[in-house]
Structure 1
């Protein structure tokens, strides 16, 4: 949802934007992959960490060992991370999660607003994951097609899920740094 908000802000006040990075996002009004519903509902309604993992990451990577730690799998590390509260705040109530989901599924950034962003000329980074079931890769492709230009760079990960920024932290951090640097030129 953050990417949708960022696109709206960039379209509303492009003169105030230095760069735009869109990580596994959509222009809105999209249909998630049908496989998304079971893990989504299991994580939101049941608090199932197994469902969170299934929602964010391709199953093909979860059993992989951590380099140099044969006793530790990718799933072990990611489960521990996602199970650790990031703040003292309570988890959001169910109605807030439902409202966020409805906003994501019904909001839509028009071609005209995307054109405003594209014409502004500031550096744009679009990151997509081919295995993302929450926001399927077609959404990143649509953004690439609508925002195209020399100012747009892309990172597309063959084994990336919706949690691609955890899977490919170094590559994405480098892409973000390069995008910010391009804004300084």
Structure 2
């Protein structure tokens, strides 16, 4: 099976020695390649998922889902469409190594894994497509080695940190609780469906059965085959999402690098909210195009044809050297809030602390909303519990009340 050893190609740099020290020489990244051709595409998957989750995109881009290693003739086999795709398991999941220490997971460290894989494949340049956490990693790759990126596609992405909080409602919190409690493939499959897809999609009929029932069987089989993700792997990847942040300097690098960006999102995503994806796209103006589709977090499956078309559009526009102003569909006039933030940044350069206070207030507001939702849920469940414990008056015993 193909593996790429990471953390051994270069010595730690003085500036990033503290972070580079976390790269374990024993860590191996499992990968597979599909199709053949001059167009190179690196697919980076998200939290708790393996490379198999890119199935619809691999099929759409290359015309096959059979890995090159399984094709007669070995590497570079398959029918192909002029596109050579590589998909891999991030550290912490699937067949890749699972570091135990949570500090060995960050989007920067995992971006180094992806760059090491590009080196291993001998790809000087590639289109970098990421989903969810994988899109956060893709952003870091683009900021770290912009000269190796042909285009950047960010599917169902946020800016990380507090933006990873899902929608604060009873349904979403219930799903989060079920996810953390899932111990069997059956439990995990049931909660994954509600996490990945819109309810409308799950309730549609496929023949005589609802899509939920069909997908449930597929998910149970897939999870049973690959196994449940370890706790340390999940905690590590979650830490990478929570600590992710794109600085203004990194955003500036991406905007000035000369490649185009497509931000693709399911508007009914309960994990990565559309609002934050749009904010990221606006930060990347004018090189970014926003594509919001009718779907959930796994819009790459729910609306695979539309997502694949958006990816082909990005590849074609890149090959045609389309200018950013022709590519973007975002308005030129910045929003009031963004203009305000620009003004605040100007103030901070003059020594003002207004920008810092504004950011703190924004985060505090989200935290308060989160705590308020938890309090409401606890209050509701507490009332139900008290009702269940309240003594029931037995007939013919008036003395019970008198005492």
Report the TM range for the smaller structure's normalisation.
0.7 to 0.9
CA contact (8 A) 1:130 1:160 kept: yes
Q: What is the CA-CA distance between 1:81 and the residue it aligns to?
A: 3.0
Structure 2 CA distance for aligned equivalents of residues 103 and 41 of structure 1: 20
Task: Report the equivalent of 1:39.
Answer: 175
Task: Kindly report the root-mean-square deviation, in angstroms, between the aligned alpha carbons of the 2 structures.
Answer: 1.9
User: Please, which moves more after superposition, 88-97 or 56-65?
Assistant: 88-97
SS of 1:18 mapped into structure 2: strand
Structure 2 CA distance for aligned equivalents of residues 20 and 87 of structure 1: 33
Superposed CA deviations along residues 48-101 of structure 1, whole A, max 9, x for unmatched, are 2221111112223211113xx2x0222123223322327954332022112212
Larger Rg: 2
SS of 2:150 mapped into structure 1: coil
Task: Report the equivalent of 2:307.
Answer: 172
Equivalent positions of 1:28-177 (< 5 A) are 28-29=160-161, 30=163, 31-35=165-169, 36-46=172-182, 47=184, 48=187, 49-66=189-206, 69=207, 71-85=208-222, 89-149=226-286, 151-157=287-293, 159-177=294-312
Structure 2 CA distance for aligned equivalents of residues 176 and 89 of structure 1: 28
Q: What is the CA-CA distance between 1:37 and the residue it aligns to?
A: 3.5
Runs of 5+ consecutive residues of structure 2 not aligned to the other structure = 1-132, 321-403
CA contact (8 A) 2:201 2:302 kept: no
SS of 2:253 mapped into structure 1: helix
Structure 2 CA distance for aligned equivalents of residues 18 and 143 of structure 1: 19
Structure 1 CA distance for aligned equivalents of residues 190 and 226 of structure 2: 22
Structure 2 CA distance for aligned equivalents of residues 86 and 18 of structure 1: 34
Structure 1 CA distance for aligned equivalents of residues 296 and 178 of structure 2: 18
Structure 1 CA distance for aligned equivalents of residues 315 and 218 of structure 2: 27
- Aligned length, in residue pairs: 180
Q: What is the CA-CA distance between 1:164 and the residue it aligns to?
A: 0.8
CA contact (8 A) 1:44 1:94 kept: no
CA contact (8 A) 1:26 1:135 kept: yes
Structure 1 CA distance for aligned equivalents of residues 265 and 316 of structure 2: 21
Q: What is the CA-CA distance between 1:12 and the residue it aligns to?
A: 0.9
TM-score by length of 1: 0.87
TM-score by length of 2: 0.42
SS of 1:34 mapped into structure 2: coil
Structure 2 CA distance for aligned equivalents of residues 23 and 82 of structure 1: 21
Q: What is the CA-CA distance between 1:105 and the residue it aligns to?
A: 1.9
Q: What is the CA-CA distance between 1:114 and the residue it aligns to?
A: 1.4
CA contact (8 A) 1:44 1:97 kept: no
